[in-house]
Amino acid sequence: MNAMRTAYHEALEAARLDVVRLGALVGDAVHASCTSLEKRDTTLAARVIAGDDDVDGLRRRVEQSCIELIWRQQPVAGELRQVAAMLEIVTDLERIGDYAVEIGKYSIKLSDVAIRPARVEIGRIAAIATEMLRMVMRAYTERDATLAEAVIARDDEVDDLYARGIEALQDEMQSDSGMVRAGTIMLFVLTNLERVGDRAQNVAWHTKEMLGAA
């Protein structure tokens, strides 16, 4: 029986490490897609888009591991919370990977645009959103409910910058019809970054639930 429990805990730990790897993978993808936008680097954007298969594959592996963990042996309450959290978290992480792909595609569309709206703080929003993702993966890895709570609190920063960015883009497009195409694409970029923050916040909530934190 002890050998079975040892094997079970090893399988649980392997799945947890895959969740951490997935977090690192999508974090790199978001950073790379935003860099491709800033530097008009279409090669980097194409790499982000191509890397989505790896994200999807790792998510499926974690999901399969979780199914096996439930099927092989009845998990106790703490283990069940871990498995449930993993299933929720990989869904949010995979969606963050999708947002990175979308930003990569938009950066390709904007690569030949000479003018970028100055008052739209894409870089700042991207920095906060990616920092939230790094923080929440650390909270998950280190089982730190306080750090998870800090991530939840930071989402308001992203939301405020998002609202200001939308307003600035609308003003620019109204005053210069030549900005409409680029401005519309930038609206989609802003929306994807705001959603990265939302998903990072979701991961923070799942981490707190896993830890049994109020």
Position 10 pLDDT exceeds 70: yes
Structure tokens at 210: 């896993």
One CATH from 3.40.190.80, 1.20.58.220, 3.30.465.10, 1.10.10.10 for 2-211: 1.20.58.220
In whole angstroms, give the CA distance from residue 37 to residue 189.
9
Average pLDDT over residues 108-113: 87
pLDDT of the residue at 116: 57
In whole angstroms, give the CA distance from residue 62 to residue 48.
21
Q: What is the DSSP letter of 115?
A: -
pLDDT level of residue 20 (50, 70, 90 thresholds): very high
Position 214 pLDDT exceeds 60: no
Helices (H), ranges, 73-144:
77-109, 122-142
pTM for the model: 0.93
- Cβ burial of 63 (10 Å; 0-12, 13-18, 19+) is middle
pLDDT of the residue at 71: 86
- Average per-residue pLDDT in the chain? 92
pLDDT tens track for 36-51: 998 889 999 999 999 9
Note whether 200 and 151 are within 8 A (CB).
yes
Average pLDDT over residues 191-199: 97
Q: Where along the chain do its domains lie?
A: 2-211
Average pLDDT over residues 134-158: 96
Residue 52's alpha-carbon distances to 10, 46, 93, 146, 159, in angstroms, are 28, 10, 12, 31, 26
